[in-house]
Every structure is written in structure tokens, then in C-alpha cells.
Amino acid sequence: MTDTMARQAAPELRSFVSGLNRGLGDQVNLTVIGHSYGSLVVGLAAQQGMNVDNVVFIGSPGVGVDSVHDFNLPAGAQVYAAEPGAGASVGGVGVGGDYVSNLSRNLGHPFKSLPTDPGFGAERIDIGNRAKSWESHDDYYAKDSKSLSQLSRIVQGNRPL
């Protein structure tokens, strides 16, 4: 588990977002969603500077910074984070919730803070509970799910419920 590939990908994401901004200007609400290891890419790109309206992290192992204050985003940009509820600690080991986030917790946060940590500063999104972490990491986009509904609201320029 290293950040090497994420550090290589972050400038490419920034370049892509810049191209979107050149082509679309202020005509759209631009949201970047980072899922799993992709949230580390998005976090590093946001630290370097991205002109977006929203950043959303889901099922994250960490985003390469310790706080939303470490991001270089436009004034008014929103930062959201989600992982399924029902996570718990059993004998100091994270279980339930999302296995990728738990893996990061259990390994001592190799990619810095989780965006769902209370002190990080992201707005937590309620996406419901999953007791089995191995079933939750890949169902953020499941049809008719609470998580997909919340993500759709943000992408459309609305606040999550």
C-alpha cells in the first residue's frame, strides 16, 4: 500500500478538470467523486488545486492530507465524505462499515486522515448502514440505494439530505 500511483495520477486529474473548466466555464456544477484508492488521487489533486464545486470521498483509505484546510479549492467548494455506518471496533480492530476504510484504520492511516474522521472537516453524508464490510465497499452506486441518491443530489448541485 503506497501512494506512488496516486501521486502520478493526481496531476492528470487536475489537467482533466482544467480542461473541463475551459470547455464548460461556469455553466455546470462540477463534482469530482473519489472512490476507494481513487479518493487518494482526488485528495492529492485537491491539495495541488482544483477548480470544482464539490469533492466527494466514498470508501476512502485516506486522502493524503489531514484536514479539508489542506485542500486548495475555490471559496465555497463543498467537501463531502461517506462510508456505510455500522462500523465498530472489536478488540481494537475495525469491523463493519467499509473494509477499505477499516483497513486504513487498522494499519495506522498510511494515507493520512480518513475524510470521514470527525476532525477532518468534511461534511458527512448519510448513506445508510451495512453490517458486512465486504459487501459495502462496491455498492455505493447500487440502483435505488441511499448512497446513489445522495451522490446524485450533489452532482446536480443540491445539498445531500
Tell me, yes or no, whether 112 lies in a domain: yes
Whole-number percent of the chain with pLDDT over 90: 50
CB 149 within 8 A of CB 107: no
Interval 63-72: pLDDT, tens: 999 999 999 9
Q: Is residue 81 part of a domain?
A: yes
Cβ(26)–Cβ(91) under 8 Å? Answer: no
Decide if 160 is inside a domain: no
Helix (H, G, I), strand (E, B) or coil at 151: helix
pLDDT band at 92 (very low <50, low <70, confident <90, very high): low
Domain total for the chain? 1
The average confidence (pLDDT) of the chain is 84
pLDDT of residue 105: 66
Beta-carbon contacts of 149 under 8 Å, excluding residues fewer than 6 positions away, are 161
Q: Find how far residue 124's CA is from the centre of its chain.
A: 10
**142 in a domain, yes or no?**
yes
Q: Which residues partner with 57 through β-bridges? A: 34, 81
What domain range is 129 assigned to? 4-22+30-155
User: Distance (Å, rounded) from C-alpha 92 to C-alpha 89?
Assistant: 5
Q: What is the DSSP string of 13-39?
A: HHHHHHHHHHHHGGGS--EEEEETHHH
The whole-number average pLDDT for the span 85-106 is: 58
**What pTM, to 2 d.p., does this model score?**
0.86
Residue 82 domain-assigned (yes or no): yes
pLDDT at 86: 47
Q: SS3 breakdown of the chain: % helix, strand, coil, rounded to 5?
A: 40, 15, 45
- Helices 37-48 and 4-24 pack at an angle, to 10 degrees, of 60
Amino acid residing at 110: P
Residue 97 has pLDDT above 70, yes or no: no
Residue 80, domain member (yes or no): yes
pLDDT per position as a tens digit, 110-159: 678 889 888 999 999 888 765 555 566 777 888 888 888 999 999 999 99
pLDDT value, residue 59:
87
Residue with cell 506512488: 4
Q: How far is CA 115 from the centre of its chain?
A: 7
pLDDT at 54 > cutoff 50:
yes
Domain-embedded: residue 161: no
In a domain, 128, yes or no: yes
